[in-house]
Amino acid sequence: MARLAMAVACTAVLITLAVAGVQSQRQPAGTAHNGNAFRFNKVAEGVYHAVGTGALTVVGNSSVIVNTDDVIIVDDHVSPAAAWVLVDEIKTITNKPVRTVINTHFHYDHAHGNQIFDKDVAIIGHEFTREMLLGGKSLQMPLYKNYVTGLPGQIENLKQRIAMESDATRKAMLQTQLQAAQNNAASQAELKPTPPNVTLRTNMTLYRGDREIQIRFLGRAHTAGDVVVYLPKEKIVMTGDMLTSTLSNMSDAFVDEWVATLDQLKKLEFVTVLPGHGEAFTDRAKIDYFQAYLRDVWTEISRLKQQGVSAEDAAKRADLTKHKEHFSTITAPGVPLIAVTRIYDLLNARR
């Protein structure tokens, strides 16, 4: 009887995982954490912005769309572990299965959870996103290589800080950060980049009951394959890293085209933005602020390049401090080298 009960329990677990759209494989490494890994901020009926709490390394945000019969996830985070925990915690808001995942772009913090989903789950992304995730091309990009290379140092630094910390509250916080970093490293070791199995070149529309979900490619911006997810009835747009609550990284960006792409975004009738990083917002003026920054960073870096300044020196000298009113991370002259290198590459390609 005990064996029968165990067999029934195991079967129930596998059925639950299959219904959820997760492969009936072993749980990924690195899922251990304390408390909830996500806050599900409700922004409309059945629409949630999933933001990490810090208990687990997730890096970016997800959006969750609960429909009549199923769930759609927009972006599935930095690792198989993060995606697994996301699907598990979605059960706190609905028991409906995940049937669709949408990647807003190929970057590691938005699409490296794809591998946990069963082949019956539609993973949708731009053709370029599939190209970059197919065969592990995304792993060779500077953004991911820098990220993974930095993990051992991050872990060692946290260990040293814990050893030196005397305040119990701060020590506990650092220990949480250490656990998250160690679990992230374990999950990265199991990573197998998995491309979308459904692609689009321009636009695609999904219908789930009375809900319309538009997936739109508006032009090159943060990458060559950014898409936004637009809910016209709810007037909500999910922008990935094309538009965040702060400055997006530019390692794979088309900085000179980004402004025009954001002009296309402005044409959509939305009230709420669910960004890939930071909290949801309704202030459409943020688009104008970011466009102004993009224009100026392109002009400033181009000017320095024309003067024969190296990318390394340009990264230190470029002065965008006039934008610090709207972007608090700007405290002094300087632009990340990875952004300057990208702009130099784009300028060289124009020759």
Please list the rounded mean pLDDT of every run of 10 residues in the chain (351 residues). 39 42 73 95 98 96 97 97 97 97 97 95 98 92 93 96 94 94 94 96 97 98 98 98 96 97 98 97 97 98 97 97 96 96 95 70
Q: Return all residues near 67 (Cβ < 8 A) that are at least 6 apart.
A: 46, 96, 208, 209, 211
Structural contact between residues 111 and 252, judged by C-beta atoms closer than 8 angstroms: no
pLDDT at 245: 93
Between CA 309 and CA 329 the distance in angstroms is 24
pTM: 0.91
pLDDT at 26: 73
Q: Return all residues near 281 (Cβ < 8 A) that are at least 6 apart.
A: 245, 272, 273, 275
Amino acid found at 61: N
Q: Return all residues near 66 (Cβ < 8 A) that are at least 6 apart.
A: 46, 47, 48, 93, 94, 96
pLDDT at 2: 40
pLDDT at 160: 96
pLDDT at 70: 97
**Torsion sign across C-alpha atoms 339, 344, 345, 347:** positive
pLDDT at 8: 37
